[in-house]
Structure 1
């Protein structure tokens, strides 16, 4: 056989010294400390210890969150930090991490959530916060998490799978890839999609997760504007009433049935207006308001029904609610006229952007949510909180360190790991200091070093 090429053969040995990979994890670990997350979690779980713990519970939980951000899908993933103690210092073992998760029972879960809120307030004050003069959009959605073995409260799901059905709330942050994870409620797999009580619970938790100056003030017009967005699973009278009581606006998907189909048939063509995108007209789509064509008396005062018709994309399967080949969707909102630019087209664009929550959930599943690794339900509840911590640490890192660099701020989690978290570096020691030297040939080396410095300047 004739060789048509050659492969450069490198000499390989296992004797390298002072070299580390995954060096970027130190950025997340420092951020957890600077924001007060470690200390707040220590306070939340202090009464679960009889004496002084060898490894502080706040540091253990945040180390698990950092490992999850790095791609770990089980508690054993904390070893990615333990193997690099020259960079990260002492790290708890897998068994210690498991015991800390087990300490987060129903009596301490609220305190862990409050600790996350403390960290969010400090992160926002350091530059990670949104513009409070605008509208804060909280997106609600549920997802299925498959269980591959018997676990407490795992059950058959409506998708004919087996596992859990958590309900999540993300703060929409379009300036980065991935929103902030405000709240999550772990539920059995057979939990309903439109369970109003669960939506109300998650709404309450999401508002408590916001800093005090970002929460709505019911009955006052000078407070921050907050909007709850969901698909039709959230369109219940109870959830709408809870939003109104909390001073939160709503934009809910509305079920399309024969009643809506008849309304569409009755709307004259002159009443349909072109739908819009952020940069112009949306081709082949039109919107119309149908508030006067339907009885909304059971919904909060000021509720409005908006319809959209659009040509289905090629290959889409038509349904019985399609009218003259047009796909019909509807949503309900209590936003009054004149608040959102673009009138009803602007309202429809804002509601359509709820679809970004699918990306948030997809990235959360790539950050620990795909697998709930524990047998006990309270341990999996704690794991869910760890996943939300990891999501927030990544979001805050992007917002503080890389806001002016779209290649790092707007990349998804897999790319962020490759570009930032998994970067290689060399450890040197001089003048009683440890120096982490990021590989200068790495494309984003300067940006990573600059971002690390920004975090320390803003919070350190």
Structure 2
């Protein structure tokens, strides 16, 4: 029997006007202006122009940052995204620069000297954002240091090399400020390195540490030798557990918590703790006892004389997850891990278990890097090393703008503040809107059928009010 039901079809034409897609990106772009990032970058790059410019360099930089936050992973895509909605965009957010102008900004204008000044500009923007309500409300600031590999499929990029994972590309070292109240951190520092850079290079870790501390707002920087200064903890996996890095943390007035390799000394300590019942239960993030996990202090069982005074060694044993294979370093059917810290007893609630929980939360940096890979870090699009370093700084700025947008605009909306970047794009940045004009005003009318339209509009107003 034939189906004689008629199918309703809509007529499609290309004559729509006054409609803006990805309207939520304008909120991130506006944060770049409100924090002074655009103006600061314009001042930094003004000397790279011989005459007047058609587009202020800070505006071009902010457009690139907003496009990367929206998912662009190369300059061409960023420029095409701006050009594809140029008519509607220019009416609301100003005209966008051409692809050539964006490429020239990265390839020619941002060299090593100007890159350092742009980092200072980002620090000024961070101070403004924190003063507007994005400041962390916590006793300790935790800076997580970790490296990642960016795969390169072309041998033509400067300093691309074989990596320790038998891949080919770059090996940047990142430092994030942990912000557990949102799904993401703030990118304090990033050091682009060749692919063959070592995982535990002390000099690189010290460089990233100094940059991260230098670009914190003045009131949040550590004060070595002063007891009432800001408390800062630097966390790293075992790649950062070097004597030089620990000494640099001590000299800078910050604490450290580093992963510690399980060698024969640690295995002997574990056997001693097993024989003397020296283990105590570990805890979860909610403070409850974690089933199948224990911890103990092994400071007196392993010589730590070469580390800074007050260094402690804490060990953790846990039943492997179902399907996980045991390793040679495991003991009595349990997975053994360890870390060292210079935090004294009774400083962190929960005692040793609280210290272990605090160090275990360093794993959140993997989420930060994974989100950065979805925000331009998966691809370093330029041939020259300095240009790729500039692109990496753009990625860090995009990470910061998204974090500040969430912290100021969506503090009361955990479903939006705690969602990861892909979900945040779908729920907020990619919302459609209609542009209307009347009474000498331009209005951006967010699609009322979108379930989070009112939340987005409220967040936009909240951000503007925070900077007035």
- 2:139 is aligned to 134
- 2:263 is aligned to 257
- 2:148 is aligned to 143
Q: Distance in 1 between matches of 2:304 and 2:145?
A: 23
What is the CA-CA distance between 1:20 and the residue it aligns to?
Answer: 1.1
- 2:69 is aligned to 69
Q: Distance in 2 between matches of 1:434 and 1:26?
A: 14
What is the CA-CA distance between 1:8 and the residue it aligns to?
Answer: 4.4
- 1:275 is aligned to 282
- 1:423 is aligned to 431
Q: Distance in 1 between matches of 2:4 and 2:41?
A: 61
Contact 1:372–1:383, Cα closer than 8 Å, also in 2: yes
Aligned with 2:166 (options 152, 160, 180): 160
- 2:408 is aligned to 400
What is the CA-CA distance between 1:3 and the residue it aligns to?
Answer: 4.8
Q: Distance in 2 between matches of 1:117 and 1:250?
A: 23
Q: Is residue 99 of structure 1 aligned with residue 107 of structure 2? A: no
Q: String of CA shifts for 1:38-63, please: whole Å, max 9, x gaps.
A: 11111111111122222111111111
What secondary structure sits across from 2:23 in the alignment? Answer: coil
What is the CA-CA distance between 1:258 and the residue it aligns to?
Answer: 2.0
- 2:384 is aligned to 376
What's the TM-score, normalizing by structure 2?
Answer: 0.96
What is the CA-CA distance between 1:330 and the residue it aligns to?
Answer: 0.2
- 1:367 is aligned to 375
- 1:85 is aligned to 90
Within-5 A mapping of 1:328-367: 328-367=336-375
- 1:178 is aligned to 184
Q: Distance in 2 between matches of 1:395 and 1:322?
A: 39
After the TM superposition, which of the residue ranges 414-423 and 41-50 deviates more from structure 2?
41-50
- 1:247 is aligned to 253
Q: Distance in 2 between matches of 1:270 and 1:2?
A: 78
What's the TM-score, normalizing by structure 1?
Answer: 0.98
What secondary structure sits across from 2:300 in the alignment? Answer: helix
Q: Distance in 1 between matches of 2:415 and 2:2?
A: 44
Unpaired segments ≥5 residues, structure 1: none
Q: Distance in 2 between matches of 1:223 and 1:148?
A: 46
What is the CA-CA distance between 1:78 and the residue it aligns to?
Answer: 2.7
- 1:13 is aligned to 13
Contact 1:81–1:88, Cα closer than 8 Å, also in 2: no
- 1:26 is aligned to 26
Unpaired segments ≥5 residues, structure 2: none
Q: String of CA shifts for 1:2-21, please: whole Å, max 9, x gaps.
A: 55987643222211121111
Q: Distance in 2 between matches of 1:70 and 1:264?
A: 49
What is the CA-CA distance between 1:125 and the residue it aligns to?
Answer: 0.3
Over 3 Å counting, the alpha-carbon distance change for 1:242 and 1:431 in structure 2 is same
What is the CA-CA distance between 1:81 and the residue it aligns to?
Answer: 2.4
Within-5 A mapping of 1:187-198: 187-198=193-204
What is the CA-CA distance between 1:271 and the residue it aligns to?
Answer: 1.7
What secondary structure sits across from 1:169 in the alignment? Answer: strand
What is the CA-CA distance between 1:85 and the residue it aligns to?
Answer: 2.0
Over 3 Å counting, the alpha-carbon distance change for 1:4 and 1:304 in structure 2 is farther
Aligned with 2:227 (options 221, 224, 228): 221
Q: Which runs of 4+ in 1 moved over 4 A?
A: 1-8
Q: String of CA shifts for 1:131-178, please: whole Å, max 9, x gaps.
A: 2x5100000000000111120010011111110000000000000001
Q: Is residue 319 of structure 1 aligned with residue 324 of structure 2? A: no
Q: String of CA shifts for 1:53-91, please: whole Å, max 9, x gaps.
A: 221111111110100000000101133223232222111
Q: Distance in 1 between matches of 2:285 and 2:169?
A: 38
Q: Is residue 108 of structure 1 aligned with residue 114 of structure 2? A: yes
- 1:46 is aligned to 46
Contact 1:31–1:393, Cα closer than 8 Å, also in 2: yes
After the TM superposition, which of the residue ranges 204-213 and 52-61 deviates more from structure 2?
52-61
| RMSD of Structure 2 on Structure 1 (CA) | 1.3
Q: Distance in 2 between matches of 1:384 and 1:78?
A: 17
Number of corresponding residues: 459
After the TM superposition, which of the residue ranges 262-271 and 181-190 deviates more from structure 2?
262-271
Aligned with 1:298 (options 301, 306, 325): 306
